[in-house]
Amino acid sequence: MKKLPIGIQTFSKIREEGYIYIDKTEEAFELVNNFTYVFLSRPRRFGKSLFVDTLKELFEGNKKLFEGLYIYDKWNWDEKYPVIHIDFRGDLLSLQSLKERLKKSLRDNQKRLGITCEEEHNLSICLEELIQKAAEKYNQKVVILIDEYDKPILDVIDDIDQAKEHRGYLRGLYSVLKGVDAHIRFAFLTGVSKFSKASIFSGLNMLTDISLNPKYGNICGYTQRDIETSFKDYFVDVDMEKVKRWYNGYNFLKDNVYNPFDILQFISNGLVFDNYWFETGTPSFLIKLLKERRYFLPNFSNIVVDKKLLSSFDVENIDLEVILFQSGYLTIEKVIQTPRSIEYKLRIPNLEVQISLNDYILRYLFNHREANYIQNQSYDAFYNGELDVIRDNLTTLFSSIPYTNYTNNELKLYEGFYASVVYSYLASLGVDLIGEDVTNKGRIDLTVFVSDKVYIMEFKVDGEKGEALSQIKHKNYAQKYLDMGKDIYLVGIEFSSSEKNIVNFEWEKV
């Protein structure tokens, strides 16, 4: 079996030392022949850096590395280009650390290209000088590759003043490109997020964003075909449907794809289903936004957005759904063509993100940490229709929430707070959920699917006893699922804002 390229983002090492490589050179060929300035947004650990390094080796004309790949007999290997490669990986928590990282990157490029820049203090001028001198020395246009262009901003995104300072510095750096356009053959920039051209790429109106171009939807990530061919020896006697449910599901308007990091970690850890990608990056900033904006968490299962998904954001104007999508916590389920525009229905991509994200939300927002055996008990209770166990576990959950979480949260007065807690708790169990489930009679607060059972849940706060269950029955919410051939449970849950807990929990089986 070929070796797994765990943690390897160097194309030459993968090719020379016999690691598995998923051929992305067809996409590379299309890009460099159709565009000059290209931007790609993908979540972290999705293979962006490897693709950037692949482009570097391609433009430098290292033909032997591409033997057997799509591009091998299509590329003019006689033409070689000077490549300037800048990456911002590392902790960049201050302007000084950003400058030091950039200075090192520019020095590395000067050494590799055999060029010395006279300007060492103003790094923007140094970059401009490096591009001009490289074009002159090699009598060839220059290729610019910038990896993680937005990391200096994202590292400090929760400190608006610091983020603005980094943004201003990067704007000056990237503005250099428009002044040396005549010397540039191709420029490729990657990042997690898409910031507005006005704030970062002032003047670079020719920058083409391919992040949601269906033609390049598989430019990063592993497809199911990749798993069943290149990785087939590693998946003998493995439940592939379970693998799909745990790690597949990211969609960028082409095939569903796996995050490569997940697959490589899953194999190297003995095919154990666990949280691999999520634990490598703590989404504390996003959770802080969820809390500040009092986000109704059941919306995670039923989000529809318009073209704003394609738009950019800035540090003063962060759209929560957009950054959740760009960060990989949401993905595209389907495209909806309306008479006036295009809309996108979003969803959580897979079970790993669903369980991990909601477990993290519970711990961060509600200081709740529950033993695994209790969570397993709750899942089994849904599987077996033991609603008294669910009642007891939810009551214990609300009892564990600190008093300050109620006093500091305006949602305490509304069903949204309680519904959000229940949603996150059930989502962390790994069950299938629909929040704000639409019927022809209204919206079901929460619908839960486990095996051959459907649970229709309604929440009420400070209402009349029995009101929640009565509403489910009065509006005949169960009708939507009668043809599924499953057991249907109607569950009314009522809360008291003074007692801060469940005061009535009743159910009926249809």
State the average pLDDT for the chain: 91
pLDDT value at residue 404: 58
319: burial class by Cβ within 10 Å (0-12, 13-18, 19+)?
Answer: middle
Domain-by-domain residue ranges, the chain?
11-216, 222-280, 284-509
Please state which of the ranges 48-52, 203-207, 389-393, 484-488 shows the lowest mean pLDDT: 203-207
At residue 82 the predicted structure's pLDDT band, cuts being 50, 70 and 90, is very high
Instruction: State the pLDDT confidence band at 3, using cuts at 50, 70 and 90.
Output: very high
Fold entry, domain 11-216? Rossmann fold (3.40.50)
Q: Report the pLDDT value the prediction gives residue 447, as an integer from 0 to 100.
A: 96
In the predicted model, what is the mean pLDDT of residues 347-354?
Answer: 95
What is the C-alpha to C-alpha distance for residues 24 and 70, in angstroms, rounded to an integer? 8
What is the per-residue pLDDT across 436-474, written as a single tens digit (0 to 9) for each? 888 887 889 999 999 999 999 999 999 899 999 999 999
**Interatomic CA distance for residues 126 and 176, integer angstroms:** 10
Q: How far apart are CA 46 and CA 58, in angstroms?
A: 20
Mean pLDDT of 474-493: 96
Q: What is the DSSP letter of 159?
A: S
Res. 158: pLDDT tops 90: no
Q: What is the pLDDT of residue 345?
A: 93
The stretch 19-41 carries a mean pLDDT of 97
Supply the pLDDT for residue 44: 92
**Residue 337 Cα distances to 247, 251, 438, angstroms:** 28, 17, 20
- 203 band by pLDDT with thresholds 50, 70 and 90: low
pLDDT value of residue 198: 56
Stretch 134-147: mean pLDDT, rounded? 97
What span, in angstroms and rounded, lies between the C-alpha atoms of 37 and 219?
16
Q: Judging by DSSP bridges, how do beta strands 442-450 and 432-439 pair with one another?
A: antiparallel
Residues linked to residue 186 through DSSP beta bridges, in sequence order: 143
How far apart, in whole angstroms, are the C-alpha atoms of residue 263 and residue 271? 9
Is residue 463 within 8 A of residue 361, CB to CB? The reply is: no
CA pair distance 89, 78, nearest whole angstrom? 32
Average pLDDT on 7-36 reads 97
Taking only the tens place, the pLDDT of each residue in 376-433 is 899 999 999 999 999 999 998 888 877 655 555 544 445 678 888 899 999 999 999 9
Bin 249: left if φ > 0, else alpha if -120 < ψ < 50, else beta: left
How much is the pLDDT for 411? 44
- Residue 371: the pLDDT is 59
Tens-digit pLDDT profile for residues 87-98: 998 888 999 999
Q: What pLDDT does 54 receive? A: 98
Residue 218, phi then psi, degrees to nearest 5: -105, 20
Q: Between 421 and 24, whose confidence is greater? A: 24
| Residue 481 confidence (pLDDT) | 96
Query: Which residues are registered as beta bridge partners of 3?
Result: 19
Is the pLDDT confidence value at 165 over 90? yes
**8 Å CB contact between 222 and 228:** no
Query: Mean pLDDT throughout 207-219?
Result: 94
**pLDDT value of residue 410:** 47
Percentage of the residues of the chain whose pLDDT score is greater than 70: 94
Inform me whether the pLDDT recorded for 339 exceeds 80.
yes
Q: Which pLDDT value is given to residue 407?
A: 54
Nearest to 92 by CA among 83, 102, 84, 82: 102
Strands 487-496 and 453-461: parallel
Output the pLDDT for position 413. 46
Which tokens belong to 445? 């607060």
pLDDT at res. 403: 60
pLDDT band at residue 295 under the 50/70/90 scheme: confident
Extract the tokens encoding 362.
């519970």
Instruction: State mean pLDDT over 34-48.
Output: 95
Count how many Cα atoms sit within 13 Å of the Cα of residue 302 in the half-sphere of its side chain.
Answer: 16
Lookup: tokens for 400: 């564990």
Whether the pLDDT of residue 146 is over 60: the answer is yes
% of the chain at pLDDT higher than 90: 71
How deeply is 316 buried, as exposed, middle or buried, from its count of CB atoms within 10 A (0-12, 13-18, 19+)? exposed
CA 315 from centre of chain: 18
